[in-house]
Structure 1
């Protein structure tokens, strides 16, 4: 790799002081816009990177980990963060937590700031907008400079790094089969997190089970607060829904509330199953059946993997952890009519 130019060498080539170059690179108003632009262009051409990143490259540890997650309110990320912080603290590392709010620009800015704060490595769950636009250059920049990176939950095959995930597609297929076994013939895949890697994999698993049984394919996806309550109510009242696989807990809970308001019974009229074994779904009446995402474990293993990578304990090739999960049936799904039938259906995936 081409040797990175130093700040001193860069200032010499531009015939300006080191202070001027530093201020220009940090967008100081003391330096004119034209000068800042010129210095940044020359810096980029000469492969200059901030001192924080350079220190990471030299393996000078700061005992700081940068953690970037889409949000703190979803139970999954709150629980994963708990696992990250708990494990990092035990191993003597400080965690710098940042929230992307599913924004590409915010995620880009966060990573830039964390580099300037001299973090030893990153743990990231990608923002929805980054995945939807497939704009991952800011993530690739981390790996370009050989800074340790672990992606968890929302990951990308384009990023060459360690990853912690569930077998999302298989779990969605098994959950859909459980709905089918209880008599559901009109199953909808519902997602409030479209254009994310996890939602796409869950949708694929759901559709695999539906197609295998020759059932109609129905997908409802929405973003933010645009929950399609009217559409779901109409389909339910017209008896065009009898089962729902939701990609996220919030969508599932809002859906159940909508159905109950419409005079429908759960699970007698419509069965609902979702991802995330969170407090919101657990305390709803009826309680929500879920696919457990192993959130705390994903956080714990993310830290352990990252620190092993920082300490040089791992081989060069990146590691892909696929954690085991389980389906927890609570009150929002009907009971299976035949235990032996259930065993036969699931066993085919492992023979």
Structure 2
């Protein structure tokens, strides 16, 4: 006998056990079972099944029995618990609605498949191969579009290119200014911590100057543009894909790569070197602010800076910026044109554009640095 459980309306529920014979047991469900805490009843049924060899469990409707979906879940649990102990749960004495729902819930047997997830390596290989083929196809389309532009047969509208150039260049100046200045200060602080041990704080100008023109200026600007302009390209083209504007251009005989992709990529390629040179200057000014606070005169800082790098060092960063600009534009436009037909797909395309562009940038930066090292630049 289970002690009753009281509810706010002073009704109660009971679960009575009456062993008619050794191999069967009857449980009477009575009272209000809506929102009932059934864990004690589960435990009682489990104890009964473990202590006695019972073949059949009967569930009967008692006085004032009220039930809800939680009661159905409890009965389903009891049925599975009985099955695990080679016992049968008989619910024919319960309301017809419960019997119908229980029959529906057990019409399909539970999935007995092993929970281990096996990787279909062949499927992964096929998907990777398909992605590579699609990537190469888009790369070839961009190459053909560039060839058509050189021959004067491109469908591009260069008035749009001026607008894209403004978006990729002057519109990005504020964020580039802030981050480049702070990066220069960070480089200066890091260098000062180490150089102070040798009394060589003046060489912080060499560290900031060479670090900005060869590496940090181009890379940081590229990352900024990947999150700003690359994502913008993906969102714009993805929205056009959702609105079927790209399909309309194709129907009119206008090549989407010529009309939409090439002007964006060229605008970014043109704007990136200018932004990188600007970033280099701002980074050096940020380093100068830190150097002056370390008792280094502006003249000393300028002199060390002029001796720190050559024009070849500046050109290495500029070449990187051109490559980075092309990669950012390629990643953004590729993700936008391969966007799905829903609003959620636009968000996924934007995210893919940023992540892919950053991966491209890191790989390209490592490759160019290795190339520069072997060329002695």
TM above 0.5, yes or no, is no
Give the structure with the higher percent strand: 1
TM-score, with length taken from structure 1: 0.26
**Structure showing greater Rg:** 2
